[in-house]
Structure 1
Amino acid sequence: MSGLDSVRADLAEMLDEAEWNWLMPHAQRDVLLVVAPGLSLLDVGVAIASDNVAEVQSWIQQNLLAKPTATQLSDWNSDQEKRFSALIVRPYVLVQELSVPSDTPEVKGSY
């Protein structure tokens, strides 16, 4: 297994879901990075972990990788159970919003 394959495998194991209230401390420390929909969270994590500056700078220039905006933070603070895909690549925490399909009713209560 090559070095990048090993990094990818390690990061894939750490990819998880998180609620906004779990991510808030990272936002307060200014280490949260939002990955645009359509861009692979894992690909971004591998690029950061392997110090692929050119690719990371390209995503930043295209606004595909950015710190959360004031509007995003405000929206997320008003819905602290909002869910995200999250990946820690020290010192950063990469996130992508998870959307609930509008045609899927929420299930409340227990069975």
Structure 2
Amino acid sequence: MSDLRTELSTNLDEAAWEWLIPHVQRDAVIVVASDLDLLDVGVAIASDNISSVQQWIDQQLMVKPSNTQVGNWNSDRTKKFHTLILQPYVLVQEMAA
């Protein structure tokens, strides 16, 4: 598991909203609640930890971006996100302004 965590940590980055638009358009972005650790979520998904992932989905701690969120992000093109690429998905967390 630590090897997977180390491997995924190399995919952690920051991204501007404009860089994420193509991924939203292909329905590949998953918004992760700020109280979850992005790397923990990535490890759970990559290691098929279905119970944790399902719990986060049920609690709406992992969601597809809503039309309202996308609209807000489109109006603030300088918005930044913490990101984790986990093919075919891009996990994102909004960064504080």
Normalising by the smaller structure, the TM-score range is over 0.9
**Partner Cα separation in structure 2 for residue 25 and residue 54 of structure 1:** 30
The aligned residue for residue 64 of structure 1 is: 61
TM-score, with length taken from structure 1: 0.85
Matches within 5 A, 1:1-111: 4-100=1-97
**Partner Cα separation in structure 1 for residue 20 and residue 62 of structure 2:** 17
**Partner Cα separation in structure 1 for residue 24 and residue 78 of structure 2:** 15
3-state SS, counterpart of residue 10 of structure 2: helix
Comparing both chains, which one has the higher relative contact order based on Cα–Cα distances under 8 Å and sequence gaps of 6 or more?
2
TM-score, with length taken from structure 2: 0.97
**Partner Cα separation in structure 1 for residue 54 and residue 17 of structure 2:** 26
Q: Which amino acid aligns with 1:94?
A: L
The aligned residue for residue 103 of structure 1 is: none
Q: Find the structure with the greater CA-based Rg.
A: 1
**Partner Cα separation in structure 2 for residue 81 and residue 91 of structure 1:** 25
Question: How many residue pairs align between the two structures?
Answer: 97
Instruction: Identify the structure with the greater strand proportion.
Output: 2
- Deviations 1:17-56 (Å, cap 9, x if unpaired)? 0000000000000010000011000000001111111110
Please report how far the alpha carbon of residue 87 of structure 1 lies from its aligned counterpart in structure 2 after TM superposition.
0.4
Please report how far the alpha carbon of residue 70 of structure 1 lies from its aligned counterpart in structure 2 after TM superposition.
0.8
Structure 1 runs (4+) deviating above 4 angstroms are none
**Partner Cα separation in structure 1 for residue 78 and residue 8 of structure 2:** 24
RMSD between aligned residues: 0.6
